[in-house]
């Protein structure tokens, strides 16, 4: 009986520790910093990696700084980023023109 109670206690303690690690580990993964004059939240592992993952930076349609020739989707996304102080990489796109 004592053996069963010890095992049960170990299971309960292990679950409590794992729950605490998950809860506090997730909180620790988000940080706040100032981006273009606005305090924003970001997953610290993804901060500054937008260009690495965004399809646009490997796409022939992407002409940042040239609004007339730039992809209209990219123009709209950029405007949303400016308006709402967000960063939105493109993960999937039907018009992707691979230049790499
Ligand atoms: S076509 Fe797609 S991948 Fe290319 S610039 Fe436009 S939104 Fe980005």
pTM, rounded to two decimals: 0.72
- Identify the band that residue 27 occupies on the pLDDT scale cut at 50, 70 and 90: low
C-alpha of residue 72 to centroid of ligand 1, in Å: 8
| Percentage above 70 pLDDT, the chain | 91
**CB-ligand 1 contact for 81 (6 Å cutoff):** no
C-alpha of residue 75 to centroid of ligand 1, in Å: 9
**CB-ligand 1 contact for 87 (6 Å cutoff):** no
User: What pLDDT, on the 0 to 100 scale, is given for residue 75?
Assistant: 97
Provide the 3-class DSSP secondary structure of residue 38. strand
**CB-ligand 1 contact for 54 (6 Å cutoff):** no
């Amino acid at each position: 009986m004592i053996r069963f109670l010890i095992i049960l206690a170990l299971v309960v303690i292990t679950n409590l520790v794992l729950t605490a690690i998950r809860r506090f580990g997730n909180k620790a993964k988000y940080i706040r910093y100032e981006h273009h004059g606005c305090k924003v939240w970001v997953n610290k592992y993804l901060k500054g990696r937008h260009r690495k993952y965004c399809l646009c930076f490997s796409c022939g349609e992407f002409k940042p700084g040239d609004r007339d020739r730039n992809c209209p989707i990219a123009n709209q996304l950029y405007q949303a980023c400016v308006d709402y102080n967000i960063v939105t990489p493109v993960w999937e796109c039907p018009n992707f023109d691979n230049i790499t």
